[in-house]
């Protein structure tokens, strides 16, 4: 069977199953919001008098609250169905399935989802960088009056030192954009070198303090770590465990250093210490790898829960809906 025909069949089966699920019980994948009216008193200033600003916010709410409110008062307006959130829910489910489809093989759906994710991420962080960095820090320092009056009324007035620094940053930013010019791309190398150099200088200090100095200081702690209780006496088992942890730390540091000390042949005592150091390294690497894998598994579990809970309404761990989940699951199984 050709790959294109296979994908047509897979998509058709998914569409049929989703269509059947939508006809069972109260359907699936609907989002509701709660109307929240907000207001704030604006104090008078030199240009404007005192006033009250009112606006409305729509907060996501569980379907159970909407159904209860509709049952109590069908004409209520506090809770409402949200087309925007519902469309976003369906798009999230589509892109999740499109990304999962790569487990079988590369396909147009996966490439579409990949392009959308990259494009949306770039656009989002571009907007965040503009409003969180350029506007308050660059434009706020160069044109403080304009930014204060039109964009950020709470922006503090910049100092002279900040203004000079922002002119320097503006020059570096413009030089960096020369990378896009047909000629003169070499100019962008100067701000790149400046960014890398400053970042390396700042990071090396923090890493030396947090990694090298802190861990070195920890090896100088007493091997016996007394844990004092509320009555002032030593607590036996907490003291034993704290002391054992410190002893293992010191032994691990010495053995790992021995493993990387190549001026002495790894035989006898040095060889045994080096083998212990290898064990420490393997345990450390295994724990780091396991932590990374568990983080990815947690992300996978979250997406699967999203599909079965928020989208298909086949599970309800948080009790967000009134209808029994078993009804929908049983109906799907009976149909199958």
Q: Where are the domains of the chain?
A: 159-220, 236-302
Question: What pLDDT was estimated at residue 302?
Answer: 93
Count CB neighbours of 227 within 10 A: 14
Q: How far apart are CA 40 and CA 51, in angstroms?
A: 9
Output 59-64 pairs: Cβ under 8 A, ≥24 positions apart: 59/33, 59/34, 60/31, 60/32, 60/33, 60/34, 60/85, 61/32, 61/33, 61/34, 62/32, 62/318, 62/320, 62/321, 63/26, 63/30, 63/32, 63/320, 63/321, 63/322, 64/319, 64/320, 64/321, 64/322
Query: What integer pLDDT is reported at residue 86 of this predicted model?
Result: 93
46: Cβ contacts below 8 Å, ≥ 6 apart: none
Name the helix (H) or strand (E) containing 65: helix 63-72
Q: 23: exposed, middle or buried (C-beta count within 10 Å: 0-12, 13-18, 19+)?
A: exposed
Which single residue is written with the structure tokens 């930013």?
173
Q: Phi/psi class of residue 319: alpha, beta or left (left: φ > 0; alpha: ψ in -120 to 50)?
A: left
What is the structure's pLDDT at 331?
56
pTM over 0.75: no
pLDDT per residue rounded down to tens, the chain (336 residues): 455 677 777 778 888 878 877 777 777 889 999 999 888 776 766 666 677 778 888 999 988 888 889 888 888 889 999 999 999 999 999 999 999 888 888 888 899 999 999 999 999 999 999 988 888 888 888 888 888 777 777 777 777 777 788 888 889 888 988 888 888 888 889 999 999 999 999 899 888 888 888 878 877 878 887 777 777 777 778 888 888 888 888 889 889 989 988 888 888 888 999 999 999 999 999 999 999 999 999 999 999 999 988 898 888 888 887 655 545 555 555 555
Q: In whole angstroms, give the CA distance from residue 111 to residue 101.
A: 10
Helix (H) or strand (E) holding 202: helix 189-207
DSSP 8-state secondary structure symbol assigned to residue 143? S
């Amino acid at each position: 069977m050709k790959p294109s025909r296979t994908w047509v069949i897979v998509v058709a089966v998914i569409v049929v199953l989703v269509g059947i699920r939508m006809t069972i019980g109260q359907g699936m994948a609907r989002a509701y919001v709660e109307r929240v009216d907000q207001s704030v008193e604006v104090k008078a200033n030199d240009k404007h008098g005192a006033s009250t600003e009112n606006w409305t916010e729509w907060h996501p709410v569980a379907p159970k609250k909407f159904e209860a409110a509709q049952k109590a008062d069908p004409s209520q307006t506090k809770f409402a169905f949200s087309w925007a959130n519902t469309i976003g829910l369906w798009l999230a489910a589509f892109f999740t399935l499109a990304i999962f489809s790569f487990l079988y093989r590369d396909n147009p759906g996966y490439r579409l989802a990949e392009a959308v994710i990259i494009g949306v991420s770039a656009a989002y962080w571009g907007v965040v960088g503009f409003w969180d960095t350029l506007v308050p820090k660059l434009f706020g320092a160069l044109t403080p009056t304009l930014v204060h009056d039109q964009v950020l009324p709470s922006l503090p007035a910049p100092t002279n030192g900040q203004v000079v620094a922002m002119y320097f940053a503006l020059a570096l930013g413009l030089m960096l954009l020369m990378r896009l010019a047909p000629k003169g791309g070499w100019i962008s190398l100067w701000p790149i070198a400046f960014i890398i150099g400053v970042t390396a200088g700042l990071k090396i200090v923090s890493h030396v303090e947090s990694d090298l100095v802190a861990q070195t200081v920890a090896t100088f702690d007493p091997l016996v770590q007394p844990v004092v209780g509320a009555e002032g006496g030593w607590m036996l088992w907490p003291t034993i465990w704290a002391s054992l942890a410190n002893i293992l730390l010191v032994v691990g540091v010495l053995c790992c250093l021995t493993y990387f000390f190549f001026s002495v042949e790894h035989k006898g005592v040095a060889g045994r210490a080096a083998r212990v150091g290898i064990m420490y390294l393997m345990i450390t690497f295994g724990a780091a790898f396991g932590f990374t894998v568990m983080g990815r598994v947690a992300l996978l579990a979250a997406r699967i829960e999203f599909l079965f809970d928020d989208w298909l309404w086949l599970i309800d761990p948080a009790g967000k809906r009134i209808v029994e989940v078993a009804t929908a699951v049983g109906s799907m199984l009976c149909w199958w």
